[in-house]
Amino acid sequence: MGRWEPDARGRLEQAALELYVERGYENTTVSEIAERAGLTERTFFRHFADKREVLFSGSAALTELLVNATLGAPASASPMEAVSAALEATGAVIQRRGAGAQQRQSVIAANAELQERELIKMASWASALSDALRRRGVEDPAATLTAETGVAVFRVAFARWVGQPRKRDLPKLIRESLDQLRELAGGG
């Protein structure tokens, strides 16, 4: 691949993920990622601040999707219904990434620094969701409780999806996890 070929960012993401899976995150350098992608280190740093950000570069777009879907839920939707719709929409986007999302998660699971960064991302999702709920008129502590609960439901559903030996529908797993939570809470 030559440097003039399109989609440098996508090529860098793919090269990084391949190398992280093959060699481990810690044992992969920016130089190796750029070389595998057929690009220069300078090009890498035009797209990413560091090698960790390759795995988290879509976080802002997913957070925006969560907020917009929460705000766009019907006015009649309960806070949890609005959050559930947002999480299902986000799950659908992640599911389209398929094996890449699952490989990404295996890389994160193998590295404490990346696990910490993933937890920070989840905390930012909860904060963004609670802000969106407040914009919908939900007061605290209900907005915060709903957002934090929604993120916990997502994490459980995502772990089930990643761990499934056969293809499963991530939005459906999110709904199932929320239904299980309702049953546990006595809300049938």
- Residue ranges in the chain whose pLDDT is less than 50: 1-3
Q: Report the predicted TM-score, pTM, of the whole model to 2 decimal places.
A: 0.86
Q: Please list, residue by residue across 3-38, b when 16 or more beta carbons sit within 10 angstroms of its beta carbon and e when fewer do.
A: eeeeebbebbbbbbbebbeeeebeebebebbbebbb
Token pair recorded at residue 81: 């219904």
pLDDT at 2: 47
pLDDT of residue 165: 59
The distance between the two most distant Cα atoms of the chain, rounded to a whole number of Å, is 60
**pLDDT for 100:** 82
Both 87 and 32 in one domain: the answer is no
Show the domain range for 171: 58-185
**Are 27 and 68 found together in one domain?**
no
CATH of the domain at 92: 1.10.357.10
CA-CA distance, 188 to 177, in Å (whole number)? 13
Which pLDDT tens digit goes with each residue over 46-59? 999 999 999 998 88
User: Is residue 48 located within the same domain as residue 62?
Assistant: no
1 domain residue, yes or no: no
174 shares a domain with 146: yes
Same domain, residue pair 133 and 66: yes
Give CA angle at 164 (160, 167), nearest 5°.
115
CATH number (domain holding residue 39): 1.10.10.60
pLDDT (0 to 100) of residue 14:
92
Give the per-residue pLDDT at 1. Answer: 44
Q: What is the pLDDT of residue 181?
A: 92
Residues in the chain: 188
Number of folded domains that form the chain: 2
Instruction: Assess whether 83 and 149 both reside in one domain.
Output: yes
Residue 4's pLDDT is 53
